[in-house]
Structure 1
């Protein structure tokens, strides 16, 4: 009895190994799904549609800017609002920690952080964002909640810095004196 069961299992296994006319490229299963191609070359040909003449080997690029899709232009800070650099310099003059200073203004747009700021300077202790208007600054400060402080169009962001609440207050006070 055991050998008869083994023979049936082997026969079923071997039956699945053969090829029939339905196994040719382009064949489909009974439910309409395409069967896998017989070779890697056929699989590559199926996966990558043929590029138009003259386009082979080129990668897809963003469409050029037009009226429907204009390039993003970083806004300007409002007149009378201190620059992010001036804020960081004031922190340094007040003896506050401003290590690893980096101008990240390029990250303000949609390809970066996407918050729509006009200027951004980051340090180990705080990031200084300057927005085009106080409303935009307020919206962003609300998102960062207790991890941020806003004065006009300038937002101090302490998210992930580990800066203590007592030290944050000192940064806030220096910003208040600039405005």
Structure 2
């Protein structure tokens, strides 16, 4: 049994070594920049994109390290549709109609790529309902389709009842208030 374990262990080691050697970078492969992404021959680049000898990459200011690819545009948060009411106006309408909006939180920062990433422009969450305002009706429709029966859309505004204990009857009251704002 011990001999069999040694053979299996040795075989696994050889297979891992072969797999890793096959994953190496080809310096001659210009499609992915090869090992010399800075364009110089003979000096491989480090993981940060700077040459291994510490010199700055071509075109970079001395003493700076690039934080992201120059071809990646910065993220810009979407803006709400002009015809859509603001999330705050929707929540205020709920209050005016006597509906509960417990534990109100502005989570608009979660609309972007580092949060939920659903593409909304505004997000106000309560324990009863979350109000999403999207940049257009098409995006709102797509997200409503994803959430299914736990969501209601009017224009570019979507009410989400996922992870709430709001009854179906109460959901209808929130939906009716939103429908009057559109």
Common topology (TM > 0.5)? yes
Q: Which of 73, 76, 82 matches 2:76?
A: 73
User: 1:133-169 CA distances to partner (integer Å, 9 max, x unpaired)?
Assistant: 0000000001111000000000000001010000001
Q: So what's the TM-score if we normalise by structure 1?
A: 0.66
User: 1:95-114 CA distances to partner (integer Å, 9 max, x unpaired)?
Assistant: 10101100100000111001
Report the Cα distance in structure 2 between the residues aligned to 1:97 and 1:164, rounded to whole angstroms: 12
Structure 1 residues 100 and 69: alpha-carbon distance in aligned structure 2, compared to 1, 3 A threshold = same
Higher-Rg member (1/2): 1
Gaps of 5+ in 1: 1-11, 17-27, 35-48, 55-60
Structure-2 residue corresponding to 1:164: 167
Matched pairs, number: 135
Structure-1 residue corresponding to 2:68: 64
Write out the 4+ residue segments of structure 1 that deviate beyond 3 Å after TM superposition: 28-31, 49-54
Contact 1:134 1:153 in 2 (8 A): yes
1:92 aligns with 2:95: yes
Structure 1 residues 111 and 50: alpha-carbon distance in aligned structure 2, compared to 1, 3 A threshold = closer
Structure 1 residues 104 and 65: alpha-carbon distance in aligned structure 2, compared to 1, 3 A threshold = farther
1:87 Cα deviation from its structure 2 partner: 0.4
Gaps of 5+ in 2: 18-45, 55-64
Q: So what's the TM-score if we normalise by structure 2?
A: 0.65
Report the Cα distance in structure 2 between the residues aligned to 1:53 and 1:132, rounded to whole angstroms: 47
Q: Which of 123, 134, 155 matches 1:131?
A: 134
Over the aligned positions, Cα root-mean-square deviation in angstroms equals 3.0
